Structure 1
């Protein structure tokens, strides 16, 4: 397979995007191959900044590359990472690399007619056919009607501990009382707590059967803090979505930072980076993909290489529809379980308007 051309766009989103996202959300990359009927599609964060990184630099490193093995894909990833070091080693550069890497995996799967789950794990006995899920967001009534039974709530510190604690106790008890089939509840504080606040909150919520706290503080603080997992009163700790350099996970491992690792496959460098993170963990730390219920994470979950738990952000239908993509990966969703179609690549393609077709 030869890469003959790369296109990249930053689509216009109708969905409400807050804080940094309006100008820096998900891009879409298309790679052309020497088979005019086969394209590869990928996505990554960074908005127009990532588009400029790809058009202005990274695409030149990929066009005309011959890819005959998975080793060739990994070699391209290594080159993109190395050549972007002056402005990268994470951040926008990793997001841009993610989009290219995923597009290449998508094309390779189609070109050589092998599902991505098989490329990642050849032993089909290890493959999963039913994917467990959880919904992220605070519209729990909608998610429950769709069939979800696990929920991750978005919470933010008001810097008034008692107010925050009382609000969470009321909300969590309300969910369990109203939706009797609820299994796990998780809390994502989006870096708005600190270590002391997290420990204090764990003590106050210890009898509410919280599965995990997530993203409690900044990656810098977490990577430079002594492990406090034993101080959380039985509540587990998850994080890693904002660690966009795979080597950060080596530090996490050394410091025992989290119970669960949560890299984002569209931000950390794509499948090629994620396979490195899996090797770093070596089975010690379960990997629960951030936004793993999107098409790019599902083959990894199916392969059995990461935990069987797919995060789906703000779902509004059982097809797990996406604004910019025709998502053909989902066959059925019921009682919190995804069953997937058989497909090559990621089973999804951009809406026809994306590349002005």
Structure 2
């Protein structure tokens, strides 16, 4: 089945509901200095939020010729959306949506002129995830089954972060 359309969409989220219980305290990171790539510059040293871009999360939607579709979130919002809408999307239209490895290779090579890492890789990854979502819908199966099924009966939980009170 061929890819009919690849486009970036914005999803509207419902308003956040209140927590059932209030946190016991503010996360420690609110007042802590954390090393970051901009720590060398005093005005950006204290918090990452002072220099990280505030790009909204968008979604890529890949639609097959039968109207079925898959979706995935896009990291880095509008800059990645430009790569998807203006470059990668039009180039993979008409390709077999099940040829995921081939499409990934095409996208990787297509982005070589401006670099296949960073934001370009975020765009590639989003399309890749949306294709897997689409194939899962086409076959009526969860993606984990399509890639070989469960490898074990249970997995250990792992949490990473700066505030253990939240886990």
TM-score past 0.5 threshold: yes
- For 1:12 and 1:87, the matched residues in 2 are separated by 31
User: How many matched pairs?
Assistant: 134
The structure with higher relative contact order (CA 8 Å, sep 6+) is 2
1:91 match: 118
Report the 3-state secondary structure (helix = DSSP H, G, I; strand = E; otherwise coil) of the residue aligned with 1:128: coil
CA RMSD of aligned residues (A): 2.6
Report the 3-state secondary structure (helix = DSSP H, G, I; strand = E; otherwise coil) of the residue aligned with 2:101: helix
Q: How does 1:4-23 map to 2 (within 5 A)?
A: 4-9=4-9, 18=49, 19-23=51-55
Superposition TM-score, scaled by structure 1 size: 0.34
Structure 1 residues 131, 27: CA separation in 2 closer, same or farther (over 3 Å shift)? farther
Unmatched segments (≥5 aa) in structure 2 = 17-47
Q: How does 1:111-190 map to 2 (within 5 A)?
A: 111-121=138-148, 124=149, 127-143=151-167
- For 2:140 and 2:11, the matched residues in 1 are separated by 29
Q: Where do 4+ consecutive residues of structure 1 move more than 3 Å? A: 9-15
1:103 match: 130
Q: 1:79 aligns with which of 87, 102, 106?
A: 106
Report the 3-state secondary structure (helix = DSSP H, G, I; strand = E; otherwise coil) of the residue aligned with 2:116: coil
Residues 36-81 of structure 1: CA deviation (Å, up to 9, x unaligned) = 2x210112322110011111111111212223x4xx1100110011
Unmatched segments (≥5 aa) in structure 1 = 144-357
**Contact 1:117-1:127 within 8 A present in 2 as well:** no
Structure 1 residues 33, 82: CA separation in 2 closer, same or farther (over 3 Å shift)? same
Deviation at 1:111, TM superposition (A): 0.5
- For 1:11 and 1:39, the matched residues in 2 are separated by 15
Report the 3-state secondary structure (helix = DSSP H, G, I; strand = E; otherwise coil) of the residue aligned with 2:155: strand
**Contact 2:5-2:62 within 8 A present in 1 as well:** yes
Structure 1 residues 129, 61: CA separation in 2 closer, same or farther (over 3 Å shift)? farther
Deviation at 1:134, TM superposition (A): 2.3
Superposition TM-score, scaled by structure 2 size: 0.69
Q: 2:83 aligns with which of 53, 77, 84?
A: 53
Report the 3-state secondary structure (helix = DSSP H, G, I; strand = E; otherwise coil) of the residue aligned with 1:22: coil
Report the 3-state secondary structure (helix = DSSP H, G, I; strand = E; otherwise coil) of the residue aligned with 1:78: helix
**Contact 2:3-2:94 within 8 A present in 1 as well:** yes
Q: How does 1:306-345 map to 2 (within 5 A)?
A: none
- For 2:120 and 2:138, the matched residues in 1 are separated by 27
Does structure 1 residue 64 correspond to structure 2 residue 94? yes
